[in-house]
Amino acid sequence: MLIDKKEIKKILIIKLKGIGDVVLSTIVLENIKSNFPNAQIDFLTEKPSKDFLSLIPLINNVITQAKKSFIDDVKLIAQIRSSNYDLVLDFYSNPRTAIITFLSGAKYRAGFPFRFRKFAYNLLSQANPPIMHAAKLHLEFLKNIGLKIETQNLHFGISEKDHSFAKDFFIKNFDEKDFVIGVIPGGGWQSKRCDPIKFAEIISTIDKTYKAKFFLLWGPSDRIEAEEILKLINNKVLLSPPTNIQQMAALISNCKMIISNDSGPMHISTAVGTPVLSLHGPTSPIQQGPFGEKHEYIRLDELDCIECNLLDCPRKHECFLDLPVENVMKKIASLINKNNLITN
């Protein structure tokens, strides 16, 4: 089925899951707008992503999906049907979103042809695409349904209030010329979290080589790791105040570079344009690493269990604890050089 672009006046994007996954899906926004310049673009997601999506100018309305409830689903489907979308792009394609797409009333319904869900769509992407970065999978989706790709930009909306919060914090705590390195110890799975003792070793080694200031950014589930790092390096690192995700993004945007696990804040860092070195163990940096040429990643490739994709490590977390700090320093130097982060 070919899309008649003249018919497309209202578009609904569907992308659920974590904030990092939703950030990666924003790569489609400019491309959808270039294919349908006069169309309204709405976005169906989950509540944690609503605020930052609402601040992206390319998106007209953000709809949130409630927790699993038959009544809530009926209300949501009724809301979507009444909106009269011409095109629904289901980038999530689980059984629930497939039903929503099928019942949307849209003439054009695009999704992945996964088992028991293919019926919901009349425009199909690949079920088993080649291995590539998760952001680029969204672009392949658009290509497979006949749309042109012009850009590869991620987006994350930050309010002026949150930018002001971050700017004021940096003015109070750093000098304008300080080389501020943000460190993010969090991660959605326990196995993705580099151990505090390794983070401390990396920070201490960088401190001996570069005149840097270190800034620990944390969320509610990361505070224990952040405070442990703080103790291990004798309080040489500034701990960020409690923040919401938009405030954290604003703080990240003021750092010269970020060192992070594979996490939502790592993807946020790439979206706001801050160079990132990501540390990987159980996950693939090719598929889930920082997106874009300005970033770097590192992992212990020779380890026999690398990229295990296990939520909890059944061994001794060798993927992080045995990571040679000298290898990390080579990546740091590369990141600094290609982004001209230190100038005389």
Tens digit of each residue's pLDDT (9 = 90 or more) over 305-326: 999 999 999 999 999 999 999 9
Residue 150 in domain: no
Does one domain contain both 192 and 331? yes
| pLDDT, the chain, mean | 95
Residue 151 in domain: no
C-alpha separations of 3 from 8, 199, 320, 324 in Å: 8, 50, 48, 52
CA distance 238 to 251: 13
Given this model, what pLDDT does residue 73 score? 87
Does one domain contain both 184 and 93? no
Domain span at 29: 5-144
Among 144, 169, 200, identify where a domain stops. 144
Given this model, what pLDDT does residue 261 score? 96
Does one domain contain both 112 and 207? no
In this structure, are residues 320 and 201 in contact, taking their beta carbons and an 8 Å threshold?
no
Does one domain contain both 127 and 16? yes
Residue 344 in domain: no
Given this model, what pLDDT does residue 35 score? 98
Termini Cα distance of the chain: 58
Q: What tens digit of pLDDT does each residue of 50-103 get?
A: 999 999 999 999 999 876 778 888 999 999 999 999 999 999 999 999 999 999
Does one domain contain both 20 and 95? yes
Does one domain contain both 115 and 263? no
Q: What tens digit of pLDDT does each residue of 155-169 get?
A: 999 999 999 999 999
CA distance 211 to 209: 7
Does one domain contain both 118 and 218? no
pTM of the model: 0.95
Residue 188 in domain: yes
Does one domain contain both 173 and 246? yes
Among 144, 176, 202, identify where a domain stops. 144
Given this model, what pLDDT does residue 71 score? 87
Q: What tens digit of pLDDT does each residue of 90-138 get?
A: 999 999 999 999 999 999 999 999 989 999 999 999 877 788 999 999 9
Does one domain contain both 307 and 168? yes
CA distance 91 to 111: 6
Does one domain contain both 124 and 167? no
Residue 152 in domain: no
- Percent pLDDT > 70 in the chain is 99
Q: What tens digit of pLDDT does each residue of 191-236 get?
A: 999 999 999 999 999 999 998 999 999 998 888 999 999 999 977 8
Residue 153 in domain: no
In this structure, are residues 135 and 20 in contact, taking their beta carbons and an 8 Å threshold?
no
C-alpha separations of 68 from 72, 74, 331 in Å: 7, 11, 43
CA distance 263 to 259: 11
Q: What is the mean pLDDT of residues 239-251?
A: 95
Residue 177 in domain: yes
Does one domain contain both 169 and 273? yes
Does one domain contain both 321 and 175? yes
CA 64, distance to chain mean position in Å, is 18
CB atoms within 10 A of CB 46: 16
Residue 86 in domain: yes
Lookup: tokens for 240: 């960020």
> Sign of the CA dihedral 101, 102, 108, 114?
positive
Q: Binning pLDDT at 50, 70 and 90, where does residue 344 land?
A: low
CATH number, position 97: 3.40.50.2000
Among 96, 111, 144, identify where a domain stops. 144
Given this model, what pLDDT does residue 72 score? 87
Given this model, what pLDDT does residue 125 score? 93
The total number of structural domains that make up the chain: 2
Given this model, what pLDDT does residue 69 score? 77
